[in-house]
Structure 1
């Protein structure tokens, strides 16, 4: 266990955050909402850069931490970010401006993914990040796969739930939801999926 903690700290230290991301992370702490770790943020940036991604959808804006990491990897991308909380969107908008991202490339939509995603164009996005309500993660990932273009990526952080997902004895709702998601994705033939233990787990799905 000590080795795992040390490895995670080392991975986080390997991914230094700029002033805008640090400010967004501090704002998230003040709101009491979780954020992706620096190491997971770096993995998001790598995924965005490897495309490279030109069009990105993020489910769960928060205060902008994950969005800023995605745009670090693909600074010329158009980011569409969805959240139910207007106050968080106002904070995130400030953080994107602080980082120097043009307003024309940031589209913040206030609403639930269930309401917004069906109105988006299918097979039109290079990368979709699903980081919102765990109780809707199965449906959100299904919608995300439809939105991703062939060869596009769907990313889902926090899928390991601090070891609870991997423990079949644990039956709490969050772990059960992510366990069901992983089984579902693993058995699909229309995607290629990989599970990384970076941070608290990062699921990476590529649409065939």
Structure 2
């Protein structure tokens, strides 16, 4: 996978993540090193910290995460609210099951309620109906699916449901999206959907951009 540019000036993001972000467990460092070695995309440490803080303030009973990765963001949410029941969906079984190993290393396996689901996020949303009662959604999967995910969830979720979406600044390409790149167009389409339908939202310019809004 080709490295994506940071939205920050050169050198600032690594400094933030290594020197300024409080990491509640050293295993996060191990996960970051493994992700870098294997070229597996994960949220930045600063993004994880903000996500954890949001979850700690909202204390959702149920969380649906679309895009597990290594479970890095999942475990940040666990640290934010151990009482939340989390379902996380990803099509890459071998990659996503690293979550179980890292949770054990952190000593969290008996303290958390996390269910991994292997499969397409769009198929999951189509086939499973219980997400309509979910309290909190964290979306960090294939960018080309973002508009479809929003159009699927937004009309049907309950009042008060919260959303956090990663990569909404798309490595700065929101400034000059390439019409030949489906991912660029999908992120811009998501923004158009949100701005036209969501009355109040907040952009956290951390990592690659976190977008928060509530139904």
TM-score normalized with structure 1 length: 0.87
- 5+ long unaligned stretches in structure 1: none
Q: CA RMSD in A?
A: 2.4
TM-superposition CA deviations, 1:47-96 (whole Å, max 9, x none): 11111122111111111111011111112211111010110122111112
CA contact (8 A) 2:82 2:112 kept: no
Question: Could you say which residue in structure 2 is the equivalent of 1:151?
Answer: 160
Compared CA separation, residues 33 and 147, structure 1 to 2 (3 A): farther
Return the structure number with greater strand share.
1
Q: Does 1:107 align with 2:94?
A: no
Structure 2 unaligned blocks of 5 or more: 1-5
Of 178, 203, 207, which aligns to 1:195? 203
Match of 2:22 among 16, 19, 26: 16
CA separation of 1:126 and 1:103: change in aligned 2, threshold 3 A: same
5 Å-filtered alignment, 1:1-208, equals: 4-5=9-10, 8-9=13-14, 11-12=16-17, 13-17=19-23, 18-99=25-106, 100-102=108-110, 105-118=113-126, 119-145=128-154, 148-167=157-176, 170-171=178-179, 172-189=181-198, 192-207=200-215
Structure with bigger RCO (C-alpha 8 Å, 6+ apart): 2
Which deviates further from its counterpart, 18-27 or 108-117?
Answer: 18-27
In 1, Cα distance between equivalents of 2:209 and 2:117: 27
Q: Paired residues, what number?
A: 205
TM-score, normalised on structure 2?
0.84
